[in-house]
Amino acid sequence: MKKNFTRIVLENGMRVILTPNKQSLATTVLVLVEAGSKYETKNISGLSHFLEHMCFKGTTKRPTAMDISGELDGMGAEYNAFTSHEWTGYYAKVQPHKAKQALDLIADMYLNPVFDEKEIEKEKGVIIEELNMYEDTPMRKVGDLFTQLLYGDQPAGWDIGGNKEIIRILNKENFVKYRNLHYVGQSTTVVVAGNFKEKEFLGLIKKNFKSLKKGEKGGKLKVVESQKNPEIKIQFKESDQSHLIVGVRAFDMYDKRKYALDVLSDILGGGMSSILFQKIRDKMGAAYYVRSSIDLFTDHGFLSVAAGVENSKLELVVSAILEEFIKLKSKLVSEKDLKRSKDHLTGRFLLGLEGSDSLANYYGGQEVSREKILTPEEIIAKIKKVKASEILEVAKFIFQNEKLNLSLIGPVKDGTSLKNILKI
């Protein structure tokens, strides 16, 4: 299969992924670093995300937030940053003739933030309001509740955004120390995707990132998993709808069974023709949204089914989800469902790679997580090879009472009745 990317490791340990496409109307510059909430300790919870914000607040070359945002807006760029449990990313997507400028700016933000103390104090208010916004968005917040239930008081169970008490006391020293520990060559990946000249940009990347130190990378604690029985976590909230997640512990992103798990999840709740969408929305009329997804990390993972449910039908919906879990571990999926899922997954996967930003995230995500980089064609081939028997084996492995969990946000004060039906 054609290898449509180039991977280079520089002297400082920084990795570079170049994936050129002369037909593209855009170029994306993405910098990823192995630094997320799982690299934090309790006294700096939320710092990874806060640091991401501060990189937009001024550098030695561009001293103010306006200098950065004004230049990016002047390029007509799409730009942002994001923090996850295991890495942080900074990117700009621009017209090809603006790509050199975008590279210079993203490199400057990544390498030279000033962490002005006045800006830190002001940004605390912004971070806290972001946390408030998520708290008022139960459709999203229920996911945080679910990871808290699974992993408890360890980094994998903490909110990526941190908590307000810690945010209020973070200072410049915290930012500098954390950045020196994690923002080093070995943990950094630079990706350029879209319309650009490969040789020219490799030279520019070397020039722009030559000051990035080699340094020793700070590590993270391994996730500890412990569960014996089905567990439930409820957050009471007066609302017209209950938001829930029913899910199970799975395995990490390096497990060869992940392609079978991906197909299983799609059969279960991937699209409007999936089993749960048809059952819960179309037949029961009990939810507007219902979907299944998998989240796999470097040392843990889970499958989850999320739904926004009419309050009076809460127990019926949970029971309906559990019934499908039991069916999947009891018998082979039909050839019809297997084909539909594979076609749906591969079609959506390819369409999702249409833009230069999507390609940058696709290749960069594999590199920053230390996976072997596979081309889209190789991923599709692995999905197409999945057999019904492999899905059955994965279902038997994950759909067990000692891996089963339910998180819920809604007008529920007593979860006893839900606890009683939570079994497979």
Domains belonging to the chain, first-starting first, are 6-208 (3.30.830.10), 231-421 (3.30.830.10)
Q: Residue 59's beta-bridge partner residues?
A: 113
- The answer for residues whose C-beta is within 8 angstroms of residue 341's C-beta and 6 or more apart is 263, 266, 267, 270
H-only helix segments in 372-415: 376-384, 388-398
What per-residue string of b and e applies to 193-212 under the rule 16 or more CB within 10 Å gives b?
bbbbeeeebbebbbebbeeb
Laid out side by side, the sheet with 188-194 consists of 6-9, 15-20, 188-194, 27-33, 88-94, 78-83
Q: Which of 313, 145, 349 is nearest to 237 (CA)?
A: 145
Please say whether the dihedral angle defined by the alpha carbons of residues 207, 211, 216 and 217, taken in this order, is positive or negative: negative
Check residue 11 and give its pLDDT: 95
Q: Say which amino acid occupies 423.
A: K
pLDDT 10s digit of each residue in the chain, 424 long? 467 899 999 999 999 999 999 999 999 999 999 999 999 999 999 999 999 999 999 999 999 999 999 999 999 999 999 999 999 999 999 999 999 999 999 999 999 999 999 999 999 999 999 999 999 999 999 999 999 999 999 999 999 999 999 999 999 999 999 999 999 999 999 999 999 999 999 999 999 999 999 988 889 999 999 999 999 999 999 999 999 999 999 999 999 999 999 999 999 999 999 999 999 999 999 999 999 999 999 999 999 999 999 999 999 999 999 999 999 999 999 999 999 999 999 999 999 999 999 999 999 999 999 999 999 999 999 999 999 999 999 999 999 999 999 999 999 999 999 999 999 9
Residue 52 bears catalytic tag: yes
Q: Give the closest residue to 363 by CA, choosing from 13, 12, 21.
A: 21
| Cβ pair 291, 142 in contact under 8 A | no
Bridging pattern class, strands 15-20 and 188-194: parallel
The pLDDT score that the predictor gives to residue 193 is: 98
Q: What is the pLDDT of residue 4?
A: 87
- The residue from 34, 52, 71, 324 that is catalytic is 52
Alpha carbon of 272 to those of 114, 266, 277: distances in Å?
48, 10, 6
DSSP of 311-358, one letter per residue?
A: GGGHHHHHHHHHHHHHHHTTSPPPHHHHHHHHHHHHHHHHHTT-SHHH
Check: CB of residue 294 under 8 Å from CB of residue 302.
yes
C-alpha to C-alpha distance for 247 and 360, rounded to whole angstroms: 30
Three-state DSSP at 27 gives strand
Tally of CB atoms within 10 A around 43: 10
Q: What tens digit of pLDDT does each residue of 75-100 get?
A: 999 999 999 999 999 999 999 999 99
Task: Return all residues near 142 (Cβ < 8 A) that are at least 6 apart.
Answer: 235, 243, 244, 245, 306, 407, 408, 409
Sign of CA dihedral 226, 231, 235, 240: positive
Which pLDDT score, from 0 to 100, does residue 1 have? 44
Burial label, 165 (beta-carbon count in 10 A; 0-12, 13-18, 19+): exposed
Helix (H) or strand (E) segment spanning residue 93: strand 88-94
Residue 347 sits at φ, ψ, to 5 deg, of -65, -50
- Burial (CB count <10 Å: 0-12, 13-18, 19+), residue 56: buried
For residue 354, what pLDDT is reported?
93
Tell me if residue 50 falls in helix, strand or coil: helix
pLDDT tens digits along 285-308:
999 999 999 999 999 999 999 999
Contact indicator for 356, 193 with CB cutoff of 8 Å: yes
Residue 194 Rama label (left phi>0; alpha psi -120 to 50; beta): left
The CA distance from 368 to 87, in Å, is: 8
Q: Please state, as a whole number, how many other Cβ atoms lie within 10 Å of the Cβ of residue 379.
A: 19
Give the span between the Cα atoms of 165 and 124, in whole angstroms. 11
